[in-house]
Amino acid sequence: MKSPVINLRKVGAMLERHELDSKISVMAKTLLSYCAARTSNQFDAEDLAQTIILEIYKSADKLRDEKAFYGFMWAIAGNVYKGWCKDKARHKEFALPENAFYIDDLFGNEEDTLYLLRRELTLLSEKYRKAVILYYIENMSCSNISTRLSISESMVKYLLFKSRQILKEGMNMQRNYGSQSYNPRELSIAFWGNGANRYYHLGDSKISQNILFACYNDKLTAEQISLEIGVSLPYMEDKLNKLLENGLIKKDGNRYYTNIVIFTKDFTNEVGVKTAALRERIADILQKTIAEHEPEVRAIGFVGSDMNNQTFRWQMTSFVLYRAVIDILQSKINVVYPRDKFGTECFIWGSEKGNESYWLSQFGFGISSVLNAAGDYVQFMDFPINGEMVHPYYFNRKNVTNIFLDIAKGATEEFSENDKVVAADMVRKGYVLLDESGLAVNTPVFTAEQYQKLKDVFSSAAEHISNEAETLMEVVTKIMKNHMPVHLKKLAHDMAYLRLFEDAISAPVSILCEEKYLLPYNGSGMLPTTYIVLKNKA
């Protein structure tokens, strides 16, 4: 018999760990004989002996005199045996019959009994459920089950014994399905940070979405989650494990809890009511300042400065909001990115679908800056005003960005055949124009100096909007703390900043569209929310 591994540097004042190991090794056979004389089979004897040895290791720090070891050992053996006898008597009714192969033999075959049994089987965790199915349904012996599951035969017997106990206890309980079983909720998983988004598809399944909702405010066992969402454990366990593996949920003992903030319907509705005036104010600042500075902006003379009026409004709205919320405010408040379990600095959160949310409206917002080795970059403030948000996903490929920026600089002479194929695809998508003079990007193009002039023109307006957004953020932080579990409250302030993409960017844009100041892009003319900045124009 092997001694259990206990992490102790020193197990007693007078007894070192190696000495304890030696003494137990010498007495192991004697202890096993002691147990065999008091039990009915070898399995029980070994089980009892292991329990006694484990208790000796656990209690060894109480031993102060090495000479008292044997009396100490037999005292523990006697106490453990007494407890074992009591436990055996208490569970005697659950003893496993030698020839009990069929579930009906154990529980009867009345219709209501079978219904209860089937219900409890759906709530049985995987390790127990497999043993029950193989033994009772597939009529496999304990020996064969042991081989199939790669566990000891004694463990198979324990799982069957424990399963019978769990099933009987469960059948005597009244269980009620939760509201999510008939009224499931939906959410989308969002990501903001460095590195690849490995979380995007984790929320694709409605089961995964409802697991996250079920244990958002309460720590629940797998069985409780199963009842709450109305999905049996066999169909839910892989989703649960995947969420656990990726850190979207955590486990405390046998209970699970959600580890990301969720923007729920109730939260979003309250934010909408309490920040309406601030959103309107931001929209009003944008409209007035863009009209006021239009002549000055066009006079900068960048490529595309003669764009039509609607494109001009979209471009300047995107530019000012980016300056205010991303450049200025983010630097001012020093957003701290938490690290996920893979070491990536990022925020991951969920947003409930079905609410009146600007984030999920037709003006949902995406943002991306794609830089090349020369320091030139493409900037997106991507609202799906032309049907869908595609620009960031298209240009995130490095070779595509380099070709696009080369076209902006007029550096197309050395294009390979592959480069020409990519350029032709850009022409088809409307990102690049082809005329007699050659290829030209269908976006405004700024030199670094021109871009700085644009910043200077709108500096006052960007600061003003940044201050309004900061006030909005504080309001949202207070609301959020009332709608999130305690262990996530530390994220409230920074998560409120992320909400500004909706509250201070998408919402004002939606207001301007409702007022017909901004009109939907019809696919013609210059791209409305994308521009290029060249560090050194060729």
Looking at residue 391, its pLDDT comes to 57
Contacts of 110 (CB under 8 A, 6+ apart): none
pTM: 0.65
Residue type, 41: N
Quote the CA–CA distance of 91 and 290 in Å, as a whole number. Answer: 79
pLDDT < 70 stretches in the chain: 1-15, 17, 89-116, 172-175, 354-366, 382-393, 396, 537-538
Quote the CA–CA distance of 54 and 68 in Å, as a whole number. Answer: 18
H, E, C per residue of 141-182: CHHHHHHHHCCCHHHHHHHHHHHHHHHHHHHCCCCCCCHHHC
Contacts of 81 (CB under 8 A, 6+ apart): 35, 38, 48, 52
Q: Which two tokens stand for residue 193?
A: 């940070």
Looking at residue 9, its pLDDT comes to 36
Place of tokens 């400065």: 305
- Is residue 348 within 8 A of residue 340, CB to CB? The reply is yes
- Is residue 405 within 8 A of residue 372, CB to CB? The reply is yes
Question: What sign for the dihedral angle of Cα 329, 535, 317, 396?
Answer: negative
DSSP 8-state secondary structure symbol assigned to residue 252: E
Question: What sign for the dihedral angle of Cα 302, 303, 308, 310?
Answer: negative
Pairing mode, strands 346-352 and 366-371: unpaired
Looking at residue 97, its pLDDT comes to 46
Of the chain, the percentage scoring pLDDT greater than 70 comes to 84
Quote the CA–CA distance of 277 and 287 in Å, as a whole number. Answer: 15
Quote the CA–CA distance of 335 and 111 in Å, as a whole number. Answer: 60
Looking at residue 401, its pLDDT comes to 87
Question: What sign for the dihedral angle of Cα 187, 192, 193, 194?
Answer: positive
pLDDT in tens, 360-373: 444 455 677 788 88
Within the chain, all domains assigned CATH 1.10.10.10 are found at 103-171, 179-259
Looking at residue 231, its pLDDT comes to 86
Contacts of 116 (CB under 8 A, 6+ apart): 170, 171
What architecture is domain 17-90?
Orthogonal Bundle (1.10)
H, E, C per residue of 39-102: CCCHHHHHHHHHHHHHHHHHHHHHCCCHHHHHHHHHHHHHHHHHHHHHHHHHCHHHCCCCCCCC
Looking at residue 103, its pLDDT comes to 46
Quote the CA–CA distance of 54 and 31 in Å, as a whole number. Answer: 12
Burial class of 46 by CB neighbour count within 10 A (0 to 12, 13 to 18, 19+): middle
Looking at residue 307, its pLDDT comes to 94
Q: How far is CA 218 from CA 96, 214, 249, 256, in A?
A: 36, 8, 12, 8
CATH number of 103-171: 1.10.10.10
Question: Please, what is the end-to-end C-alpha distance for the chain in angstroms?
Answer: 79
Place of tokens 């969720």: 262
3-class secondary-structure state, position 191? strand
pLDDT, averaged across the chain: 82
Domain 179-259 coded CATH 1.10.1660.10: no
Quote the CA–CA distance of 162 and 158 in Å, as a whole number. Answer: 6
Quote the CA–CA distance of 90 and 92 in Å, as a whole number. Answer: 6
Place of tokens 């079920």: 214
Q: Which two tokens stand for residue 427?
A: 């022409």
Within the chain, all domains assigned CATH 1.10.1740.10 are found at 17-90
